[in-house]
């Protein structure tokens, strides 16, 4: 099926007389006739539900739709994008291991890897996404277990050369995990370019209405864990906490990763999405393909207007021919990238603050990627503790404004931006 059709009807096909919309199974627990029936679930011998901290039928229907959209073999929902990225990495790595990651990834994920996972004994090396194959190769160590990047980075808006990163990962016998939040599978399917596992903050375009936090992990089912069994003991040796099951043997390439993440990490961390939130996420998914098209059209129109404006020093948007990422965008994102544009005002930090104060349609928010246009000056909010030098080094100079173009009319958005720039 075409991705547009999967957005609307994927994941769930009701039988005769069953509800047309996915049922919300608002229940923590599930009933069984005998202890033996339930025992089989705990031994992972039978499929079924017993406790919504691990799995819930509503969440599984929505995960199945996202799995179909990405072209994967198995998927799960999590309570947030942060939880999805943590689970995806921690399902592979343990103390003593090492991660290679793109340096321009989302600040939350950067902290997760460089601060919190470091405390768990997992080290990381960050590489410029535009590095050469040699530089990328040099970042690997014998204990490297995974490579991580974002298709379009938030908020740096760099585009990942997925094939380059996949080649390097596979040459070292490790998987590539790609956070595909910004383009969504409507605009890019990283599995088609060699990625092994995809993650999402569904909080962004997938929900798309600023209503529910959530995350998702999808497995391509292609990474052969057993071929590198010595690197991945968590997947390739018996799990004593599950009666000695070896995930990669019992569930194969297609199912091992998500089964382990559910049976072990969801059991122990409980970062589960609520069935009600999964239901609302699914409402967002039903129109994702239509909304992405408008977000991209608005992003492009705003980027072009800003680029031609004398008070704007520069614009970052991979759809513009002036972008250093334009060629990569044409390859990986031929249908469009996303609605997020960032730009610098010639008048510096002061000008950015005046501009944002004068906007009438675009609200100041830390959020991105929902129906209503919003904007943020990282230097005076999320990156407030940094000096101007540190801001420049981090790729978020003091004058930078990030604007997430929503679903309004592009004429109204541009008129609003024009009147605010007048006042600068």
Ligand X SMILES: *Cc1c(COP(=O)(O)O)cnc(C)c1O
Contacts with ligand X by CB under 6 A lie at 80-82, 85, 106, 108-109, 150, 154, 179, 181, 201, 203-204, 213, 215
Residue 68 or residue 179: which is nearer to ligand X going by CB?
179
Residue 78 or 246: the one with the smaller Cβ distance to ligand X is 78
Which of 130, 123, 175 is CA-nearest to residue 148?
175
267/242 Cα distance (integer angstroms): 11
Q: In whole angstroms, give the CA distance from residue 410 to residue 39.
A: 57
Comparing every residue's Cβ against ligand X, the nearest one is 81
CB 405 to ligand X: min, Å: 15
Q: Tell me the two tokens of residue 272.
A: 């589960």
Backbone angles phi, psi at 118, to 5 degrees: -60, -40
* CA separation for the pair 332, 322 (Å, rounded): 17
Q: How far is the CB of 215 from ligand X (least distance, A)?
A: 6
* Alpha carbons 309 and 271: distance in angstroms, whole number: 45
The strand pair at 374-376 and 363-364 is best described as parallel
Minimum distance of ligand X from residue 98's CB (angstroms): 21
Q: Give the 3-state secondary structure of residue 21.
A: coil
CB of 150 to ligand X, least distance (A): 5
Cβ-based nearer residue to ligand X, 155 or 175 = 155
- In 3D, which of 341, 306, 308 has the Cα closest to residue 414? 306
Please give the Cα distance from 36 to 27 (Å, whole number): 22
* Residue partners of 137: CB distance under 8 A and separation at least 6: 168, 171
Residue number, 80 or 259, with CB nearest to ligand X: 80
* CB-nearer residue toward ligand X: 281 or 421: 281
Two tokens, residue 227: 């071929």
Closest approach of ligand X to the CB of residue 230, in Å: 31
Whichever of 214 and 234 has its CB closer to ligand X, that residue is 214
> Three-state SS for 344?
strand
* Dihedral of alpha carbons 387, 393, 396, 399, sign: positive
- Using an 8 Å Cβ cutoff, are 144 and 100 in contact? yes
Could you tell me the smallest distance in angstroms from the CB atom of residue 197 to ligand X? 14
Q: How far is the CB of 419 from ligand X (least distance, A)?
A: 29
Closest CA to 41 of 235, 259, 324: 259
Nearest distance from C-beta of residue 153 to ligand X, angstroms: 7
Mark out the alpha helices in 333-387 (DSSP H runs): 348-358
R_g of the chain, CA atoms, integer Å: 22
Sheet with 363-364: list strands edge to edge: 312-316, 340-345, 400-404, 374-376, 363-364
In the bound state with ligand X, the residue whose beta carbon lies nearer, of 201 and 342, is: 201
For ligand X, which is the closer residue by CB, 77 or 421?
A: 77
CB nearer ligand X, residue 80 or residue 184: 80
3-class SS at 374?
strand
- Of 70 and 239, nearer to ligand X (C-beta) is 70
Least distance in Å: CB of 199 to ligand X?
7
Shortest Cβ 395–ligand X spacing (Å): 15
């Amino acid at each position: 099926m075409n991705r547009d059709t999967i957005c609307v009807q994927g994941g769930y096909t009701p039988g005769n007389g069953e509800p047309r919309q996915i049922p919300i199974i608002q229940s923590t627990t599930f009933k069984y006739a005998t202890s033996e029936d339930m025992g089989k679930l705990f031994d992972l011998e039978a499929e079924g539900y017993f406790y919504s901290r691990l799995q819930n039928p509503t969440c599984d229907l929505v995960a199945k739709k996202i799995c179909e959209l990405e072209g994967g073999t198995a998927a799960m929902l999590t309570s947030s994008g942060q939880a999805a990225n943590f689970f995806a990495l921690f399902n592979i790595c343990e103390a003593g291991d090492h991660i290679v990651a793109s340096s321009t990834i989302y600040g939350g994920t950067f902290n997760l890897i460089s601060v919190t996972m470091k405390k768990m004994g997992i080290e990381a090396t960050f590489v410029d996404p535009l590095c050469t194959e040699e530089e990328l190769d040099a970042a690997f160590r014998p204990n490297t277990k995974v490579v991580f990047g974002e298709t379009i980075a938030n908020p740096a808006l760099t585009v990942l050369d997925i094939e380059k990163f996949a080649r390097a990962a596979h040459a070292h016998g490790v998987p590539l995990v790609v956070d595909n939040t910004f383009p969504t599978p409507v605009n890019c399917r990283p599995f088609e370019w060699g990625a092994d596992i995809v993650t999402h903050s569904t909080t962004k375009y997938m929900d798309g209405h600023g209503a529910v936090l959530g995350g998702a992990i999808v497995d391509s089912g292609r990474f052969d864990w057993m071929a590198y069994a010595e690197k991945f003991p968590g997947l390739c040796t018996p799990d004593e906490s599950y009666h000695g099951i070896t995930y990669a043997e019992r569930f194969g390439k297609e199912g091992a990763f998500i089964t382990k993440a559910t049976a072990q990490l969801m059991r122990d961390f409980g970062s589960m999405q609520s069935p009600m939130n999964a239901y609302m996420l699914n409402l967002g998914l039903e129109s994702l393909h239509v909304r992405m098209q408008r977000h991209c059209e608005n992003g492009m129109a705003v980027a072009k207007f800003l680029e031609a404006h004398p008070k704007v020093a520069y614009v970052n948007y991979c759809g513009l021919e002036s972008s250093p990422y334009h060629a990569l965008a044409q390859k990986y994102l031929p249908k469009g990238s996303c609605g997020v544009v960032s730009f610098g005002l010639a008048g510096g930090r002061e000008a950015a603050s005046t501009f944002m104060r004068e906007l009438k349609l675009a609200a100041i928010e830390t959020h991105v990627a929902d129906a209503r246009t919003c904007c943020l000056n990282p230097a005076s909010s999320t990156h407030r503790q940094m000096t101007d030098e540190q801001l420049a080094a981090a790729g978020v100079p003091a004058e930078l404004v990030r604007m997430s173009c929503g679903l309004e009319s592009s004429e109204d958005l541009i008129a609003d931006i024009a009147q605010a720039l007048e006042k600068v």
